[in-house]
Amino acid sequence: MERMKTRADFLRAQKGRRFNTPALGIEMCATPVALARAGLLRVGFTASAKVGGAVERNRAKRRLREVARAVLPLSGREGHDYVLIARTATLARPFAGLLDDLTKALDALKGNKNG
């Protein structure tokens, strides 16, 4: 798993498919051909000011990083970029619930055959 850090990567993912749960949102798009390598899966994390102050946003992103580390290598699609979006509920949701939310979101995105 590789981290996405440039604004252009996040904007490209925003144009792809998305799925929302009360505790997190996820956006997915194909990795650009120039960056594609066998087995590559890229992920980025974001949290808006709606989540809270800097401390709350950082805590929410830390929780999402751990959830992604546990779920994406098993359920993510190679050759795709994912952006996980923190919600206010990300902070209060039990970790097992976040794992279930991400798994459900990935299954829903895989079910869509348009990409």
- Where in the chain are the domains? 2-107
The amino acid at residue 31 is: T
Q: Which of 9-18, 26-35, 40-49, 87-96 has the lowest mean pLDDT?
A: 26-35
Over residues 81-100, the mean pLDDT reads 95
Architecture of domain 2-107: 2-Layer Sandwich (3.30)
Q: How far apart are the first and last CA of the chain?
A: 20
pTM for this entry = 0.89
User: What is the per-residue pLDDT for 112?
Assistant: 56
**pLDDT tens digits along 53-88:** 999 999 999 999 999 999 999 988 888 999 999 999
Specify the DSSP element, H or E, that contains 28: strand 24-30
